Structure 1
Amino acid sequence: MSLTLLFILVICTLQVAATIVCVKLYRKWITNMNGMLIAMSLAMAVGILIGTILGVIFHGDLFVSTFYSILIGLAIGFIAGIPLGLPAVIDGLLSGLMGGMMEAMLGDMVAMTRPNTIINIMAYIITMILLLVLYTVEDSIRKQGNHTIISFFKHPFLLLFAITLLFVVFNYIGPLDFNVPTKLGH
């Protein structure tokens, strides 16, 4: 596993978890429309990212990559939609299904030409979308409840710049090879 892929998965997992926790804690200050948007966005984003990664990993076995990415997208859509009500659950489930299905095909088709590039591009786009979703949650809570919460966005452009810089640095470093051949017996 490359350092970039590990970084991508950690960042996106933290963003999804932070969004779900904020939604769960401050549910009464989130409008129904924003709730459906949040569930749909989280499920679609996770389905897209995981579908691309699994499509590259399971290249040639489209069934396995599609099946697992759909399951993960459905699970995130369900978890994100539960605090927000049945319409958000349905929206999250359908978005997770669609994102996982479509991106598994993309990951499988592009796997032989530039697998790391497509994963990094999709991960960067998804990371920025997840930041916007988290900002939407915080903004909705601030507007509806006049409630002060722990904000991730005191300096949003600085955060976007830092994440962009980290993606560029990790992309420049490339994958780390932990299977270093030894010269024993040679």
Structure 2
Amino acid sequence: MTISLLVILGLCSIEVIAILWLIFRNHHSISRMHGMVLAMALGMGVGLLIGTILGAMLHGNLYVSTIYSILIGLSIGFIAGIPFHISAVIDGSLAGLMGGMMGAMLGEMIMMTSSEATIKLLSFFITMIFLLVIYTIEESTEKKHSMLSPFSILKHKYLLLFIITIIFIGLKYLGPVTA
């Protein structure tokens, strides 16, 4: 596994934890419909990314990569839907299950020479979608609470997009981990 993949996993993990924290902190300010969309986006994104990574790493063992990615995507979708309603739990769980299956199939189908490039591109898209999810949470809570934190995406959205784009461009030049 290269340093760039470790950075990508770390960045996506931080984003997922931040989204879950925002959901649990502000679930009273978020409508049920937004809660369903948030749970679905989180479950699908995590399942798809983890499934692709596991499918590429465990190339040739589709069963194991599918089961693990389904369990991870389903769990995150389930956890994200808990504060809202049972329909959000069902929606997030099924989206995580489907994302895990599709990610494992994608990871299995890509050639080993282009697996890292595919994972980087997919993680860039998912990172940007997760930023939109954070933006949606903050926009929903801003209507009810007029005060935003200094780390709010609403205040610094273009700077954050620029920084993340530069990080992903810089990941192109990182090599493998030497142990």
| TM-score (norm. length: structure 1) | 0.91
Any residues of structure 2 matched to 1:27-176 within 5 Å, and which?
Answer: 27-143=27-143, 145-150=144-149, 151-176=152-177
CA distance in 2, matches of 1:121, 1:65: 20
Structure 2 match to 1:5: 5
| TM-score (norm. length: structure 2) | 0.95
- Asked if 2 retains the 8 angstrom alpha-carbon contact of 1:59 and 1:111, the reply is no
Q: Please tell me whether Structure 1 or Structure 2 has the larger radius of gyration of its CA atoms.
A: 1
CA-to-aligned-CA distance 1:85-133 (integer Å, 9 cap, x gap): 1111000001000000011001011042411111101110110000000
CA distance in 2, matches of 1:160, 1:70: 29
Structure 2 match to 1:181: none
Displacement of 1:147 in angstroms is 3.9
What number of residue pairs does the alignment pair up? 177
**Which amino acid is the alignment partner of residue 58 of structure 2?**
F
CA distance in 2, matches of 1:72, 1:141: 28
Alpha carbons of structure 1 residues 167 and 152: separation in structure 2 relative to 1, 3 Å: same
Across the aligned residues of Structure 1 and Structure 2, the Cα RMSD in angstroms comes to 1.1
Structure 2 alignment gaps of length 5 or more: none
